[in-house]
Chains A and B, each alone.
Chain A
């Protein structure tokens, strides 16, 4: 009986530990779970497709929508070395 209770407590504590939140030092961005190619795509602004939306957003922000949107796409279409 006592052993059973002890086992129960032990099991519950294991479950409690297992279901705990991730320790601050162990937290990892989704970035770290990606392959190198996808990481490179994010890090390089000229290959990150999200930057097109950022440029669109900048145009909307300053109220220069159509013209800047055209220009933004031209900039993004240029080779990285340009």
Chain B
């Protein structure tokens, strides 16, 4: 499974849409193992994702240039730059324009998704990129998208594409 996690989200021909690593694992379970799908953020799905992603540690993020993913990528970029929530912020305002500055005493990072699923000290637990994105959206006082929504998959794709070539660190540790 080396390098696999570095290629997701990707278009899946069977599903007919772009899927992330967790969804790909669930598709395998459903279609090849006839096993029940695992819930988002469940211990088992995070564990399997971490096991697969660990094998890509040090590998460069390699999102394929796939015309079938173009719409999702475009939607993701739009969401990244779109102002949302009561604070009227966008992802780009913090993570493109103001990275390295301080917010509430901590440095604003560039928002790269190269370590997921990761252990976050604030959570005292392992979590997915979507959980982190929900945190951000709640911080912006926006209504977070739901787990597995097309919006989140698009945003994940945009973030991975934005970090193309960066080394995977899963399972990373973050404050």
Residues of chain A at the chain B interface (Cβ within 8 Å): 18-22, 24, 27-31, 33-35, 38, 41-42, 48-51, 53-54, 56-58, 60-61
Residues of A within 8 Å of B118, CB to CB, are 50
Q: If A22-B99, A34-B174, A57-B47 touch, does A27 touch B169 (CB 8 Å cutoff)?
A: no
Contact with A along B79-105 (1 / 0, CB 8 A): 000000000000010001101100000
A/B pair count, beta carbons within 8 Å:
105
> Assuming A21-B162, A24-B165, A42-B169, is B119 touching A30 (CB within 8 A)?
no
Give residues in B with beta carbon < 8 Å to A.
Answer: 43-44, 46-52, 54, 92, 96-97, 99-100, 107, 109-112, 114-115, 117-119, 121, 126, 162-163, 165-167, 169-175
Compute how far the CA of A61 lies from the CA of B55 in the bound complex, rounded to whole angstroms: 13
**13 A-B residue pairings within 8 Å (CB atoms):** A22-B110, A29-B110, A30-B111, A33-B100, A34-B173, A34-B174, A35-B175, A38-B173, A41-B173, A49-B126, A53-B46, A54-B171, A60-B44
CB-based nearest B residue for A41: B173
Note all chain B residues with C-beta closer than 8 A to A57.
Answer: 46-52, 54
- Given contact pairs A19-B92, A60-B44, A50 touches B50 in the complex (Cβ within 8 A): yes
